[in-house]
A and B are shown apart, each in its own frame.
Chain A
C-alpha cells in the first residue's frame, strides 16, 4: 500500500509540474489555484458539481426523482449489474428501458462501464492501464493535451483547479490513450469525453470507457482526417430529409454543410451542448444503444429549431442559421422533453447502416477511398458484448458491492470479490481471481466494525477498504480509503474545497454501493444524505419521534437495506415496536420508514426483494427478518 502510494505520489508531482508549466505558457495570468478555489467556495455548486450552475442548470432542465423511486431503481440496477450477462442475453429490452428511464446517479459510472464493455476490457487487460500510465508518452501529444487540461468543463468542481486531481486524471487518461494507440494520437474532442467519464469513475475505468467509445461506439471520429465524422454528417443530413423536410430544405438552401453544425455535437456526444441532466440521460441511452441516440438527438434539435416556417424566416443565411443552432432554445433540451422526443424519432440502427452505405459510396466517388480504415461501428452494449467474448469473471463486480440487506458478517471474505446481491447469484465464495497486493489490510476496519454498534452498517462497509487495492491508480492521496472505511468516521459535511467534497462523496459512494471514486461527484444527493446520517443518534433515541426532515433524507441514507425491508414493513406497520428497534440499532431506519408510510410510494414494491434477499441472509439479517 505504502509502495503504491509512493508510486502515486511521485507520479502526481511529475504531472503537477507539467501541468503548471503549461499553465505558464498558456494563460499565465489567469490567477492562482487558490484564487480559483476561493472563487469556487463562494458560489453555489449544483448537484452535478457545476459551480454556479454552469452547464445550464435549472429547476426545469433537470427532473428530481423522489428518493424512494431512486432507491428502487438502484436495487434493480444492482441486480442487473450482478447478473449482467444474463440480463444482456435474456432481458436486454428491460435493460434498455431502464437506461431510457435514466440510470441512478450512484450507479451510473458502474453501469456505463458495464454497458460500454469497458468492464470486460479492463478485466481482460489487468495492469495495462498502469503500464500505459507509467510510460512517458509522445511529448508532442502531451503538449497539446496539457494545453487542454484546464479547458474541460472549467466550471466543474472536479476540473476547476489547475493541477487538481481532476486535471491530473484527465491527463493520465488522455496520455494513456495516446500510448495505447500511438497511430491515433490525441484528438481534442476526446478530452470532454474523458472528462465526462472521469466525473463518474476512476481513471482506469475512464480509460477503458474512452477506449470503447473511440473504438466501438464512434470509431474513426477522432482519427486524423476526421472522415468518419464527416460521413456521419452526411448521414445526419440525409436522415433529416425524412424527419423534417422543412429543416432539410433550409439547410440545403443555405449550403449548410453538416460538419458546420454537428461536429461538436457528435464528437463530444452532446456533452458540451445540453444541460447536464440531459447529457447524462443521453449518455445512458447512448451507451446502451449506440450512435443512433446521438443521431436522434441531433435530429430532434434540428427539427425543433428549424422545423417551422416562422422559425426559418428569422434565420435567412448561413451565419444566422449557425448562430441559431448554437443557441438552442432551452425548452427543447430539458431532460423530459428531449428524452421523450429522442425515443420517438423513428431512426433505427438499420436506417443508419443503410444510409452509411449510401453515403460511403458517394464519398468514394467524390473523395476517393477512405484514408483511414476504422473498425465497424457497434450499435450499443449488446453488439459490443457479442463481439468481445468474456468470461463470467470479467463481469464480476469489483470490488464487492455492498449488499443492501446484510450487515457485515464473516461470510464477507475480502477475497471473494463477489457480489452477493439479491440472492440471484447463489454460488457464493468464489475466490478473487485477481487477488490484490493489499488484501491483508481490511482487518483494520472489519473487526472494528463488528464491535461497533451497527447503526450504519451499510454505509461504512469494510469492503470499502478494498478500494485502494482495486483502484491502484487512485490519485487522491487525501482519500486514503482505510480511514474512510472506518465505521466511526464522521463524515465531514461542511467542507468547502472541492477536493474535500470529493472526499465526502467517496464516502457516500459506499453507501450507494459503488466504490468508484468519482461516481458520487455528480451525486450530490448522497452528500446531503450524510447530513441525515449524523442525525442518527437522535433517531435511535427517539425512534418514534423521527422528525420529518430527517425522514426525507433517510431513504437516501439507508439506501437498499431500508428499501428491501420496506415491503415487509409496510405490510405490517405494527411491527415497529420500539424496544426491539432500540436493541438493534441497525434497524433504526425502520421507524422512519413507518412514519413515511403515508407518503411512501416505494411500498408497492414487490415482495421479491425481501424474499430473494433472504437467500443470502446473514444471521443478523435473519434476525431482522424474523423479527419483521
Chain B
C-alpha cells in the first residue's frame, strides 16, 4: 500500500432519496458534477486522502440509498462510522422533515460519538428554496450538528463539508473525547501514524489516547 496517511475515517452520506448524496460524493472525489448518475441501490463508495491540520486523513465514504424502504438494508453500512454527512434538499421540505429519523438511526447504529455535519444541498437552486438557512441552522444547533449549505453542482462548500467534519473528529481525538483504538470508532491509524507511534517521539494521537483514559 503506497498510500500514506495518519488516520482513516469511515464516513457515511445519509439522507432522503434525491437529495444529491451521490452527487456530493462524486463532486468531492472527482471535483465534477455528475449529471447522469443512476440512483443508488445499496451502496456506493469513494475514498480520498485530505490534509487537515497537518494530518493526512483518508476518508472512506459510504454513500447509501435514500429511499425509506432501503433503510433496513443500509443500516448495516452504519456500523463503525466516525463521521456522517446528513443531507437534505433545500428545495424540499419533506427531505428536511425526515432529518430527525436519519439522525436517530445514525446515532443509534453508527456510534454515539459520530460527528455529523448537516448539509443543505442544492444551494444553487435558491429560487426554489423551501427551507431557510436560519431554521436549518437552528435545527443543527439543537442537535449538535455542524451545518453548511452545499451545492454538488457548483461544488460550493462540498469539500468544506468533508473537511470540517474530519477536523472535528481530529479535534475530538486530540482532546481525548474519541478513542481511535476503541472498536467501532470508525477510526484507524494509517501507516504514517503507526510509524510515529513506533518511533521514540510518540505522536499526538497516542498521547491524546492516553489522556482519554
State how many angstroms separate the Cβ of B97 from the closest Cβ of chain A.
13
Complex contacts, A268 vs chain B, CB 8 Å: 41
Given A154-B36, A188-B67, A144-B17 contact (CB < 8 Å): yes
Shortest A158–chain B CB gap in Å is 14
Q: Is the CB of A152 within 8 A of B76?
A: no
Q: Are B73 and A25 in contact (CB under 8 A)?
A: no
CB nearest to A25 among chain B residues: B91
Pairwise interchain contact A27-B35, C-beta atoms closer than 8 A: yes
Chain A interface bracket (under 10, 10 to 19, 20 to 34, 35 or more): 35 or more
A484 to B196, CA, bound (A): 75
Which single member of B18, B37, B77, B89 contacts A154 (CB below 8 Å)? Answer: B37
Whether A272 pairs with B41 at a CB distance below 8 angstroms is yes
Residues on B with C-beta less than 8 A from A27 are: 20, 23, 35, 153
Chain B residues within 8 Å of A227, by CB: 72
The complex places the Cα of A154 from the Cα of B122 at a distance, in Å, of 21
CA distance A336 to B39 in the complex (A): 29
Interface contact A225-B17, CB-CB below 8 Å: no
Q: What 1/0 flags go to A27-39 for Cβ under 8 Å of B?
A: 1111100000000
Cα-based distance from A272 to B65 in the complex (angstroms): 15
A257: Cβ under 8 A from any B Cβ: yes
Most buried by A among B39, B91, B153: B39
Given contacts A144-B18, A272-B38, contact A29 B124 (CB under 8 A): yes
| Chain A 175-195 interface mask (CB, 8 Å, partner B; 1/0) | 000000000010111011000
Residues of chain B at interface, number, CB under 8 A: 35
| Bound Cα distance A30, B94 (Å) | 23
Chain B proximity mask over A261-280: 1 for CB below 8 Å, otherwise 0: 10110011000100000000
Q: Compute how far the CA of A185 lies from the CA of B17 in the bound complex, rounded to whole angstroms.
A: 15
A263 near B41: Cβ-Cβ < 8 Å: yes
Contact of B73 among A144, A259, A272, A326 (CB under 8 A): A259
Determine if A188 and B65 form an interchain contact, defined as CB atoms under 8 angstroms apart. yes
Q: Which B residues lie within 8 Å of A225 (CB)? A: 69, 72
A188-B41, A259-B42, A264-B42 given as contacts; is B72 within 8 A of A25 (CB)? no
Question: A30-B35, A264-B42 are known contacts. Are A24 and B153 too (CB-CB below 8 A)?
Answer: no
Interface 0/1 of A134-147, CB less than 8 Å to B: 00000000011001
Nearest A residue to B89, CB-CB: A25
Q: B179-208 toward A: CB 8 Å interface, digit per residue (1/0)? A: 000000000000000000000000000000
Taking a contact as CB atoms under 8 Å apart, the answer to whether B39 and A148 are in contact is: yes
Query: Does A263 contact B73, Cβ atoms closer than 8 Å?
Result: yes
Asked if A224 meets B69 with Cβ closer than 8 Å, knowing A29-B153, A263-B42, A264-B42, the reply is yes
A147–B67 Cα distance when bound, in Å, is 11
**Cα of A229 to Cα of B65 in the assembled complex, Å:** 15
Nearest CB on A from B101, distance (A): 15
Name the distance in Å between B16's Cβ and chain A's nearest Cβ: 9
> Which residues of B66-80 are within 8 A (CB) of A?
67-70, 72-73, 76-77
Which residues of chain B have a CB within 8 Å of any CB of chain A? Answer: 10, 17-18, 20, 23, 33, 35-39, 41-45, 47, 60, 65, 67-70, 72-73, 76-77, 89, 91-92, 94, 124-125, 128, 153
Give me 29 A-to-B residue pairs in the complex whose CB atoms sit less than 8 angstroms apart, sorted by A's number. Answer: A24-B128, A25-B91, A25-B92, A25-B128, A27-B20, A28-B124, A28-B125, A28-B128, A144-B67, A148-B17, A154-B38, A155-B36, A187-B67, A187-B69, A188-B17, A188-B39, A188-B65, A188-B70, A189-B41, A191-B39, A192-B41, A225-B69, A226-B69, A226-B70, A257-B76, A260-B43, A263-B43, A322-B45, A323-B47
8 additional A-B residue pairs with CB within 8 Å, beyond A24-B128, A144-B17 = A27-B35, A188-B65, A189-B41, A263-B42, A267-B41, A272-B41, A319-B47, A322-B45
